[in-house]
Amino acid sequence: MYGHTGKIARINLTTRSIGTIDTGDYESWGGGHGIGSAIFFDLCKDKTIDGFDPANVVTIMSSPLAGTLAPTVSRTEVQGIGVQAYPIAWYTRSNFGGRFSAMLKAAGWDGIVIEGAASSPVWINIVNDKVSIEDATGLWGMDTWATQQEIWRRVGGGSVNFDDWWDVAGSRDAGRTTQRPAVLANGPAGDNLARNGCLVHDAGAGAGQGGFGGVWGSKKLKAVSVIGTGHVKVADPKTLMDVRLWLARNHYLNVDDPVRQPSTGGVGMGGLAAGRSTPSVDNEPNRVTGCSSCGFPCKRRSESGTFNDSQCVDQNYWSGAGLSVRDMRKATDMLQKAGVNVYDVSGFRGWMNVLYQRGELGIGKAIDSTPLDFSQYQTLSFAEKWLDVLCRREGIGNDMAEGVIRAAKKWGKLEEALETRDLNYPQWGYSAHWSLPQVEWCYGSLMGDRDINEHCFSFPHWTAAYTVGLQKEGLTAEKFVKQLTGKMVPYEDDMFMLDYSWRNGREEITGIYSEHRAKMIAWHRHHTRFWKQSMQFCDWAFPNFINAQNKDMEGWTPYCEENTYKAIMGKEMSYEEGVEIGRKIWNLDRSIWVMQGRHRDIEKFAPFFHNQFFQPFGAVTVYQDDKWQYSMEPFMHIDAAKFENWKTKFYNLEGWNPDSGWPTRSTLEDLGLKKVADELQSAGKLG
């Protein structure tokens, strides 16, 4: 078997039993998310349970391409029933970078499946083939960094300093490495069942969305550590090296001169902004760093150690609140240590301050903020205290640990806040992102389970519009649209998929409520389920639709994906075949959501999304007056009735019953999912 190691660790925390699953049994799902969802479907018998239920099954999956020289794929996909989404906490996913995935493969595992719940705190120790469940009593409540350090110490037997070769299992023959264990750790928030608790690896890689920190807390699982000294079998190392060298020559960051001029920069690729998404403060010496084998390192480490491995979004925890950039970054480090999801809490603390300013929240007020004194809001110590009360569920912290949406509900404020956009959370209790005018973002999130967090289209739009150099170099809107849609197999060459017309009379013909848009959303959902979440090509760098460094601005997609896959796996996988497997995975996920209660009637945006509001950033392409053009659409919002009609088009395209949004038997059976259709039928939920 190439790429895959061939086995997945199956760990039951209730019975403390450890077994294996043969990866070959699930190979048709590709890897990563696909295999994780298929295993979840088989092992989680009742999909309607709460995320905190011990019967919840959590999968932690690598990619078949990880642990090799393949660029950006050494990422890890975490899945299971979450605790964050609202009103139903959907089966969901989160993804993180760093070293974990590559290390898991080096230890000989394609993934880890966690079942049951321990009766007292535990951590899982994987040293090559050996998997053990260890006592974590002394680690419970510890922050994510201290936990990792303590586990490094324990795995190294207290004597290893990790600056040199060491014997991982006590003898040279059992394997040697220069690496320290890769640890995925829960923080004090997750230990205390916070719905905004997240899992953190190294300094700043994290599985944030979904509330997996809280889920692990309910399983009394503090950390998973892995150290491996093996390797991944690659079918054709020379071709893999050729792909890698081609990318390196043409596109990798020059670490000696990590500056990129806008007119030559990659388009649709944040990664090439290497380390620049988080510029240094006060010229503090720092260097770029990235996930294993990336090639487009987008993070940085600083001399002081502040903000190591964190990224732009992490800085939002306490931004715009009067702190210096340096203090904002210190606040981010506090957040990483607490293991708290920045996307849930950055809007949350800002909204609490709004309520405070209005006199509705504060010590002794209608919403009693004790022990938080919001007059101190603009201080670093307050940012720290805010996290502390959340982690300990002290006073108002008990509500904060339930996440912003549930807290708002408890405080009687949810409806008002979602009407006024005081809470900018358009769907399922997840915060807005590039939701508008990039409608694939909000549509995809609503048809799915979470904020999709996929920049496939927003990066190229951003760059094409804002990088004036590109427009000078001839990237007209028409060429842009043609080049992107040309790669969107099997719907290639339907240029109207990228018509963002929303109020010019074309919106239902070719624009955002049209069948063309339904195809675009379907392509995006299917594509990312396979190439991004199963193969795990990083969202920062893939797909690369267009690229200013190449002749004719040709991006490296699908050349890079197809050739990397073939070189490692020893077999062909066309871009289109991958998208089709993604369709199967998407339908499986959809079926799980249906069992959990998904229905057309609840696939609705928050009310504010239908009102006009000002969203100044993000150019899109529109077809108007018989020509393509870039356009700013700062007032775009969604017409509720037209969106309902669009849903019918989308469900029909996907082969789902348009009355319910549930997959039909023929759709599922065509995808080889008969047993899924049978289970939906038993639940009375077949479309």
Partner 1 sequence: MTELSVPSRELAEKLLTRLSGKDVVTACSADPYSGSVNYYIYSFEEMASFLDVDMDSIANMAGTIHFIDPEVLEKWIRNTYGDEELADAISEQTDVYKNCQDSVEYHIKQLSIINPVKELLVRRLEQCREILGKESKV
Instruction: Indicate the residue among 80 and 347 with the shorter CB distance to partner 1.
Output: 347
Q: Is the dihedral of CA 557, 563, 568, 573 positive or negative?
A: positive
CB 424 → partner 1: shortest distance, Å? 6
What's at 145, amino acid-wise?
A: W
Of 94, 319, 332, 445, the residue at the interface with partner 1 (CB under 8 A) is 319
Token pair 């009766």 is found at 119
Instruction: State the Cα–Cα distance between residues 180 and 149, nearest whole angstrom.
Output: 10
Q: What is the 3-state secondary structure (H, E, C) of 620-639?
A: EEEEECCEEEEEECCCCCCC
Bridge partner list, 221: 122
Q: 237: which residues sit within 8 A by CB, 6+ positions away? A: 567
> Among 155, 147, 242, 231, which residue's Cα sits nearest to residue 189?
147
Cα 633 to Cα 629: distance, rounded to the nearest angstrom: 12
Q: Does residue number 614 form part of the binding site for partner 1 (CB under 8 A)?
A: yes
Q: Which amino acid is located at 72 in the chain? A: T
- Determine which residue in the list 7, 195, 220, 276 makes contact with partner 1, applying CB under 8 A: 276
Q: Of the listed pieces 289-297, 364-372, 409-417, 520-528, which binds ligand SF4 according to CB under 6 A?
A: 289-297
Identify which range of 51-59, 194-202, 291-299, 495-503 contacts ligand SF4 by CB under 6 A. 291-299
Residue 94, contacted partner among ligand SF4, partner 1, none, CB below 5-8 A by kind: none
| Residue 304 in contact with partner 1, rule: CB under 8 A | no
Non-local (6+) Cβ contacts of 202 within 8 A are: 98, 99, 148, 182, 183, 309
Would you give the binding string for partner 1 spanning residues 228-267, x where CB under 8 A is met?
--------------------------------x-x--x--
Binding to partner 1, residues 161-220 (CB under 8 A)? none
Rounded Cα distance, 77 and 227, in Å: 18
Contact 172, 228 (CB under 8 A): no
The reply on whether position 94 binds partner 1 by CB under 8 A is no
Decide: is 540 part of the binding site for ligand SF4 (CB under 6 A): yes
> Which segment (36-44, 533-541, 642-650, 656-664) binds ligand SF4 by CB under 6 A?
533-541
- DSSP output for 23-75: GGGGGGG-SHHHHHHHHHHHH-S-TTS-TTSTT--EEEE--TTTTSS-TT---
| DSSP three-state, residue 542 | coil
Q: Which of 52, 91, 296, 556 binds ligand SF4 (CB under 6 A)?
A: 296
Options 92, 467, 547, 596; binder of partner 1; rule CB under 8 A? 467
Among 13, 69, 122, 541, binds ligand SF4 (CB under 6 A): 541
x-or-dash string of contact with ligand SF4, 89-108, rule CB under 6 A: --------x-----------
Distance CA 596, CA 359 (A): 39
Tell me what percent of the chain is helix, strand and coil, each rounded to the nearest 5: 40, 15, 45
The set of residues, in sequence order, having a beta carbon less than 8 Å from that of 573 and lying 6+ positions away, is 562, 565, 566
Residue 312 interacts, among partner 1, ligand SF4, none and using kind-specific CB cut-offs from 5 to 8 Å, with partner 1
290 binds, among ligand SF4, partner 1, none (CB under 5 to 8 A by kind): ligand SF4
Q: How far is the CB of 261 from ligand SF4 (least distance, A)?
A: 19
619 binds, among ligand SF4, partner 1, none (CB under 5 to 8 A by kind): partner 1
What type of residue sits at position 84?
Q
Nearer to ligand SF4, 143 or 309 (CB): 309
Q: Where are the beta strands (DSSP E) in 589-632?
A: 619-624, 627-632
Print burial letters for 124-133: b (CB count within 10 Å at least 16), e (below 16).
bbbbbbebeb
What amino acid occupies position 137? T
357 interacts with, out of partner 1, ligand SF4, none, CB within 5 to 8 A per kind = partner 1
| Contact partner at residue 279 from partner 1, ligand SF4, none, CB < 5 to 8 Å by partner kind | partner 1
Q: How is the beta sheet containing 7-12 ordered, strand by strand?
A: 17-22, 7-12, 111-115, 58-61, 76-81, 91-96
Spatial CA neighbour of 84 closest among 378, 343, 381: 343
- The correct pick among 222, 455, 506, 590 for binding partner 1 (CB under 8 A) is 455
Q: Give the nearer residue to partner 1 in terms of CB position, either 13 or 328.
A: 328
Contact call for residue 80 and partner 1 (CB under 8 A): no
- Contacting partner 1 within 400-439 (CB under 8 A): 421, 424, 432-435
341 and 197 Cβ atoms separated by less than 8 Å: yes
Window 17-76: residues binding ligand SF4 (CB under 6 A): 72
Binding piece for partner 1, criterion CB under 8 A, among 62-70, 204-212, 225-233, 307-315 = 307-315
When CB distances are held under 5 to 8 angstroms depending on the partner's kind, the choice from ligand SF4, partner 1, none that residue 297 binds is ligand SF4
Peptide bond into 121 cis (omega under 30): no
Window contacting ligand SF4 (CB under 6 A); options: 154-162, 318-326, 535-543, 585-593: 535-543
Stretch that binds ligand SF4, among 21-29, 143-151, 288-296, 635-643 (CB under 6 A): 288-296
For residue 306, the minimal CB distance to partner 1 (Å) is: 17
Q: Which two tokens stand for residue 548?
A: 């200013």
Tell me the residue length of the chain: 687
Q: In what order do the strands lie in the sheet with 130-135?
A: 130-135, 122-127, 221-227, 182-186, 199-201, 205-207
Residues between 334 and 373 that touch partner 1 (CB under 8 A): 346-347, 350, 354, 357-358
The pairing of strands 111-115 and 7-12 is: parallel
The interface partner of residue 255, options being ligand SF4, partner 1, none and the CB cut-off 5 to 8 Å by kind, is: none
Burial of 134 (0-12, 13-18, 19+ CB in 10 A): middle
Choices 314-322, 409-417, 571-579, 593-601; region in contact with partner 1 by CB under 8 A: 314-322
**Residues in contact with partner 1, total (CB under 8 A)?**
50
Q: Which of 56, 148, 293, 458 binds partner 1 (CB under 8 A)?
A: 458
- Among 116-124, 224-232, 292-300, 338-346, which window interacts with ligand SF4 (CB under 6 A)? 292-300
Query: Of the candidates 459, 496, 565, 605, which one interacts with partner 1 according to CB under 8 A?
Result: 459
Please provide residue 207's backbone torsions phi and psi, each rounded to the nearest 5 degrees: -90, 95
Which position's Cβ is nearest ligand SF4?
A: 290
Site residues for ligand SF4, 238-277, by CB under 6 A, read: 271
Tell me the CA distances in angstroms from 185 to 46, 121, 214, one per residue in order. Answer: 27, 13, 12
Point out which residues bind ligand SF4 (CB under 6 A).
72, 97, 271, 290-291, 294, 296-299, 538, 540-541
Residues binding partner 1 (CB under 8 A):
260, 262, 265, 270, 273, 276-279, 311-313, 315-316, 319-320, 322, 346-347, 350, 354, 357-358, 421, 424, 432-435, 455, 458-459, 462-463, 465-469, 614-619, 630-634
